[in-house]
């Protein structure tokens, strides 16, 4: 693997001209982005075209994209794929050039002049907004920001995340990323010490007063977007009380049809059922709590008394239409609202959006 750092746009242009000459053979390929998509593309193209040379551009000084900054630190088995990527990078036909921003240090037109093929393999780095009032309150964070924070991504180092002034955090979403965020907040720091979590995140989590996490989903336990593997892992955290309302487990004929069409939905539903039964019989005091809130859609983020920081979230109760479209049911609002506070201290930044 070769890593080169930029010094100026002109210098980078000279470097790229040195690496390749579009008019010559063999094939010269540029891949923008060094995450899984970029490396899988490089691997396939280098195998398909035996003499092809690949230059990979990356805006960060380090490669591997989401494998490095998106995978939870307590999932090292998922990161093993970097071994495959490292073998690709070890080829003398491959060069990685870091600290290069497309559109700033080099233009698309520049790359088109230099390479036979240009592949854009970078992911989305902006957040999807909910479009509800209060999203701009201090303390409302996207899942991307939180994940980058605990993984040590350079863009997440300045995130202000105060975990010491409340006992409650609210996460909007019930997918795997939402479960990752909840697990990091609830898992004992003694366990996290054995992972490659960022040191600043571990230090903050040691001081954390968060004891309750609410995972809010628009639909029911049958439609939860997480996988059984991820759900089983968080349900197995030692000393964690998990709360699932029995009323939310009631299934309709459409729910049964969904589980018939998708066995993974059935496995997830069965895990929620077991969690509900366990919470009734084995709940212990003074432990951390995970609450699954189903059939609720966020309608507004509520401020605390200072009108600046987040204090809670307004939720609209939902119901499922009953008609399966593209393998799932859609949730619709009922016009009934309730509020969920983000903690004992309303000034706490406690809401994350997936």
For residue 99, give both structure tokens: 């600290």
The alpha carbon torsion through 287, 208, 197, 146 (nearest 10 deg) reads: 110
Mean per-residue pLDDT for 112-128? 90
Cβ atoms of 161 and 146 closer than 8 Å? yes
Per-residue pLDDT at 7: 40
Mean per-residue pLDDT for 326-353? 74
For residue 229, give both structure tokens: 């593997």
Q: Which residues contact 69 (CB under 8 A, 6 or more apart)?
A: 147, 148, 151, 152, 153, 156
- Summarised one tens digit per residue, pLDDT across range 231-254 is 999 999 988 999 999 999 999 999
Percent of the chain with pLDDT over 90: 74
Mean per-residue pLDDT for 106-123? 94
- Summarised one tens digit per residue, pLDDT across range 141-150 is 999 999 999 9
Q: What does pTM read for this prediction?
A: 0.86
Per-residue pLDDT at 1: 31
Residue with tokens 């969690």: 275
Mean per-residue pLDDT for 251-266? 94
The per-residue DSSP string of 103-151 comes to TTTB-HHHHHHH-SEEEE-----SPPP---BTTTSBTEEEHHHHHHHHH
Distance CA 282, CA 300 (A): 35
Mean per-residue pLDDT for 100-107? 94
The DSSP code for 276 is H
Does residue 63 have a pLDDT over 70? yes
Mean per-residue pLDDT for 154-178? 91
Mean per-residue pLDDT for 91-118? 95
The DSSP code for 329 is E
Per-residue pLDDT at 189: 95
- Contacts of 258-267 with C-beta under 8 Å, sequence gap 24+, read 258/222, 258/223, 258/324, 258/327, 258/328, 258/329, 259/222, 261/324, 261/327, 262/327, 264/227, 264/228, 265/222, 265/223, 265/224, 267/228
Mean per-residue pLDDT for 279-295? 79
Torsions phi, psi for 59 (to 5 deg) = -75, -20
Per-residue pLDDT at 348: 38
Sign of torsion, CA 210 212 214 220? positive
Does residue 5 have a pLDDT over 50? no
Per-residue pLDDT at 13: 45
Does residue 260 have a pLDDT over 50? yes
Is 98 strand, coil or helix? coil
Least confident of 18-32, 85-99, 138-152, 320-334: 18-32
How confident is the prediction for the chain on average, in pLDDT?
Answer: 88
Residue 335 vs residue 285, higher pLDDT: 335
Least confident of 63-67, 190-194, 206-210, 348-352: 348-352
């Amino acid at each position: 693997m070769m890593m080169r750092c930029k010094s100026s746009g002109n210098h980078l242009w000279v470097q790229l001209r040195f690496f390749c000459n579009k008019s010559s053979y063999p094939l010269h390929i540029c891949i923008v982005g060094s995450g899984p998509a970029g490396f899988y593309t490089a691997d396939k193209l280098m195998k398909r075209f035996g003499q092809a040379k690949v230059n990979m551009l990356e805006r960060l000084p380090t490669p591997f994209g989401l494998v490095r900054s998106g995978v939870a630190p307590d999932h090292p088995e998922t990161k093993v794929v970097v071994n495959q990527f490292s073998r690709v990078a070890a080829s003398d036909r491959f060069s990685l050039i870091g600290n290069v921003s497309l559109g700033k240090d080099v233009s698309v037109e520049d790359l088109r002049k230099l390479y036979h093929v240009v592949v854009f393999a970078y992911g989305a780095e902006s957040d999807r907004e909910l479009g509800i009032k209060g999203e701009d309150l201090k303390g409302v964070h996207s899942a991307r920001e939180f994940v980058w924070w605990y993984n040590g991504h350079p863009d997440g180092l300045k995130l202000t995340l105060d975990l010491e002034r409340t006992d409650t955090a609210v996460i909007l979403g019930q997918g795997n990323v939402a479960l990752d965020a909840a697990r990091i907040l609830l898992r004992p720091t003694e366990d996290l010490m054995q992972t490659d979590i960022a040191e600043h995140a571990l230090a903050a989590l040691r001081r954390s007063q968060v004891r309750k996490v609410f995972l809010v989903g628009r639909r029911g336990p049958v439609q939860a977007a997480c996988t059984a593997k991820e759900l089983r892992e968080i349900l197995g955290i030692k000393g964690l009380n998990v709360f699932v309302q029995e009323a939310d487990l009631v299934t309709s004929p459409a729910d049964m049809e969904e589980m018939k069409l998708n066995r993974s939905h059935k496995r997830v539903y069965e895990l929620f059922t077991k969690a509900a039964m366990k919470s009734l019989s084995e709940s212990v005091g003074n432990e951390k709590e995970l609450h699954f809130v189903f059939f609720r859609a966020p309608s507004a983020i509520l401020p605390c008394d200072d009108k600046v920081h987040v204090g809670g979230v307004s939720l609209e109760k939902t119901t499922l239409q009953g008609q399966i479209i593209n393998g799932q049911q859609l949730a619709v609002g009922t016009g009934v609202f309730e509020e969920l506070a983000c903690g004992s201290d309303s000034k706490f930044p406690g809401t994350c959006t997936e």
